[in-house]
């Protein structure tokens, strides 16, 4: 039996310098498009490590390489608390209904290879950031994507 998920996670908006955003479609919910997300494996796991691991697991993009240096992964220092969708609550300990999510951005080259984890995602697409936000099933994910231009301006 798998251990319960820790209700602390990351959201990673993967994007190009031109503000195209990578979205991936959930295997367990066709039509549900999202950015990379994932929970901590250990309570003491650093959030940057969680973000880099989840990007690698879900998209095959290796953070910490010449093409995608660790510095391309930006901690947006933004946290939200949300109610876990009922369909996914069974993954958490009984009584856990809320999750804390930390937002990150990852700038990558437009021609980066994307290799999905087939058990998690079935398709991927690059879209201009506004179109990507419209396609997301999660309002908070859409909000994060819409903040992308501001995040890049303040980081410069």
Q: How many domains does the chain have?
A: 1
In tens digits, the chain (156 residues) has pLDDT values of 778 999 999 999 999 999 999 999 999 899 999 999 999 999 999 999 999 999 999 999 999 999 999 999 999 999 999 999 898 899 999 999 999 999 999 999 999 999 999 899 999 999 999 999 999 999 999 999 999 999 988 876
Residue 45, class by beta-carbon neighbours within 10 Å (0-12 exposed, 13-18 middle, 19+ buried)? middle
The encoded tokens of residue 7 equal: 């209700």
57 annotated to a ligand binding site: no
Flag whether 87 is in a domain.
yes
Q: Does 35 belong to an annotated binding site?
A: no
pTM higher than 0.75: yes
131 is in an annotated binding site: no
**What separation, in Å, do the N-terminal and C-terminal C-alpha atoms of the chain show?**
46
Residue 3 within a domain? no
For residue 40, give its domain range. 8-155
2 part of a folded domain: no
Q: Residue 46 is encoded by which pair of tokens?
A: 């650093």
CATH assignment at residue 111: 3.90.79.10
């Amino acid at each position: 039996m798998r251990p319960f998920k820790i209700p602390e996670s990351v959201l990673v908006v993967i994007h190009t310098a031109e503000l195209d955003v990578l979205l991936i479609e959930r295997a367990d919910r066709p039509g549900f498009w999202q950015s990379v997300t994932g929970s901590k494996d250990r309570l003491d796991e650093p959030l940057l490590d969680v973000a880099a691991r989840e990007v690698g697991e879900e998209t095959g993009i290796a953070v910490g390489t010449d093409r995608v240096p660790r510095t391309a992964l930006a901690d947006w220092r933004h946290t939200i608390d949300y109610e876990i969708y009922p369909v996914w609550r069974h993954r958490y300990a009984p009584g856990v209904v809320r999750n804390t999510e930390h937002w990150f951005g990852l700038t990558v080259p437009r021609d980066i290879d994307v290799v999905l984890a087939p058990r998690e995602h079935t398709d991927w697409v690059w879209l201009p950031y506004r179109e990507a936000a419209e396609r997301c099933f999660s309002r908070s994910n859409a909000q994060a994507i819409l903040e992308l231009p501001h995040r890049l301006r303040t980081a410069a």
